[in-house]
Amino acid sequence: MSLYVFDLDGVIYRGERLLPGVKETLTKLRKRGNQVSFLTNNSTLSRSGFQKKLTQMGIEVHLEDLFPSSHLAAIYLGHKTKNKNIKVLVFGEEGLFEELRQARIKLTSTSKDANYVVVGMDRKFNFEKLKLAYEAILNGAKFVATNKDVTYPTEEGTVPAAGAIVKALEVSTHKRALLLGKPHLFGLKTVMKSKGYTSADTILVGDGLETDILVGKRLKIVTVLVLSGITLEKMLQKAPPSLKPDYVIQSLLDLPSLKIGHGYKKLVSSIDTL
């Protein structure tokens, strides 16, 4: 049996709208004995927040199967700040703060005593926050990004995401942020280790070439691109070989019928015709 790791935004839902085939596909995979987990770069919600959202959409999920970048930040900083008087300056939404508080990480609201600056998606980000983060980083605080996604899929289209904020800070401070989300390996490795699976029996299903597909290829696992999110067919046509997924499907309805082998990679014919 396999571990299926799904992205959320653009794969399971767009905004508050559940995408076609999700319930049926997850049910079929689980009935076959497969494990299902969710790895998302979205840091706006905590694990409990995502659990509530999915439950309201009719999707059954346990907390231990959810790995948002807000939780990844808590895991990473939990190791770094253990038994130390280290304070973290956070720019993000309630989900990120919730995960860090649950991990008992000390937070600060000033730039002078910050040892880490953590940046996630923040729809109330403004110049004052930019200046505060800038000052903390120049004062020596380590710069951490939950993700660097430049856009985020919604029901109406796409909007600027956390990567736009991170980029502004990288340009102004001349410091490169440490990335926790995809395509960095930290998140996917955390999922596989937690579930006890290896690269040979893990399948990653996502909608982003430079995040989902790239991290999957870096860990040499099977990758499935769903054309229901941020990647369009014309974008896939222009993608270099390093970003080509192993399988391409229009929606999750097509996933259970894929003949995915273990220990080898196979490109579906649809890729060759794009």
Higher pLDDT, 129 or 228: 129
Range with lowest mean pLDDT among 63-72, 166-175, 235-244: 235-244
All domains of the chain in start order, with CATH: 3-41+182-273 (3.40.50.1000), 70-179 (3.40.50.1000)
* DSSP letter assigned to residue 87: E
Mean pLDDT, to the nearest integer, of 85-105?
Answer: 96
The residue among 60, 9, 66, 50 whose CA lies nearest residue 30 is: 60
Distance CA 72, CA 77 (A): 9
pLDDT recorded at residue 158: 82
What is the per-residue pLDDT across 183-228, written as a single tens digit (0 to 9) for each?
A: 999 999 999 999 999 999 999 999 999 999 999 999 999 999 999 9
- Please say if the pLDDT value at position 153 is more than 80: no
Average pLDDT, integer, range 145-150: 95
The rounded mean pLDDT for the chain is: 92
The full DSSP string for 9-45 is: BTTTEETTEEPTTHHHHHHHHHHTT-EEEEEES--SS
The 10s digit of each residue's pLDDT in 41-56 is: 999 999 999 999 999 9
Q: What is the pLDDT of residue 266?
A: 38
- Of all residues in the chain, the percent with pLDDT exceeding 70 is 95
Interval 90-117 mean pLDDT: 97
Give me the pLDDT at residue 261, please: 61
Q: Percent of the chain at pLDDT above 90?
A: 84
Q: Is 60 exceeded by the pLDDT of residue 109?
A: yes
Which stretch of 87-96, 118-127, 164-173, 237-246 has the lowest confidence by average pLDDT?
237-246
Closest to 8 in 3D by CA, of 64, 48, 53, 56: 53
Q: What is the pLDDT of residue 269?
A: 30
Mean pLDDT of 27-42: 97
